Chain A
């Protein structure tokens, strides 16, 4: 039986000079983080940038070894994505009016799902939700993070995550079109 090192053990090994440890840590989390960021930003290249930035920050300003390192990475990515969304918002209102004309920089994460009825319907339903509710649903259902880690990411307690999830689920049900 092979026991995989924890994220903190990999970070420690990296700090001790083991270069492969960082690669393992990066490979372990990059796809999940990039998918998460992509779903928030709707731009693949920006998603990859915020993920790389998160790992650069992990190296330059490593967190104290407490809680979940995965949650710390999601926190950094989430905040970076929100910063980018805020920067966009200044001109977003003007350019949103031209949205039918302005092509996105890169393919949307939901562009590929047109032929998949469930995914397409879910993408539309998620897009109709406010960002905080979309985030908690994505973290719970898409990234399958435990509520304790989601609480760490969203800087709230476990009970708040559960009630936010419950409310978000109701919104999603409405947007989905279920009675």
Chain B
């Protein structure tokens, strides 16, 4: 019983044709994630499969074997991470971009997004201001608390905020430059 064989409400149903226009995932595309192979998926599978010995071979067979995936069977690639920030002030939250200016009345909250997970450290101009484990996806650093603000006894100026995520394959980072205004 497909939608086309059973028009709802007894009337010609326009929706099957409209839904058919939506994009779908298909074979070769499944092997890519926005230009990247399904590395995270493969790595997630590996430890799970080790618990299911009889199925291990099957999973390796079923996962597409592109060149990039074959690389994953050797040394793990470094994790990927993106650092985002928002300024929290009297007017609420506002997004920050690289090079933005932060007012003295604002504090900065950070979020990182990663498809890999690992140990994260956030540095402010070389000094660690937060570290801990994060999982796959987007995580509000420090549960979203403000972890950067301009101390009264320090001058204004530009500071570098750098997120470094380390996993089995090494470390990777992303950074933002923010300028604290007078």
User: Of A1-9, A47-55, A63-71, A72-80, which stretch is located at the interface?
Assistant: A47-55
Q: Do A45 and B38 have beta carbons less than 8 Å apart?
A: yes
Q: Assess A53 versus B3: contact at CB under 8 Å? Given A22-B55, A95-B138, A98-B86.
A: no
Chain A interface size range? 35 or more
Q: Do A116 and B21 have beta carbons less than 8 Å apart?
A: yes
Q: Do A101 and B95 have beta carbons less than 8 Å apart?
A: yes
Q: Do B93 and A97 have beta carbons less than 8 Å apart?
A: yes
Q: Do A166 and B9 have beta carbons less than 8 Å apart?
A: yes
Q: Which of A35, A84, A140, A148 contacts B24 (CB 8 A)?
A: A35
Q: Do B41 and A48 have beta carbons less than 8 Å apart?
A: yes
Q: In the complex, A55→B59 CA distance in Å?
A: 9
Task: Sample 30 A-B pairs with CB under 8 A, ordered by A number.
Answer: A22-B61, A23-B61, A23-B62, A26-B62, A30-B30, A45-B40, A45-B41, A48-B40, A48-B41, A52-B45, A59-B55, A59-B58, A60-B48, A60-B51, A94-B86, A94-B93, A94-B144, A97-B92, A98-B94, A98-B95, A106-B34, A107-B34, A119-B21, A122-B22, A123-B22, A141-B19, A144-B2, A166-B9, A169-B15, A172-B15
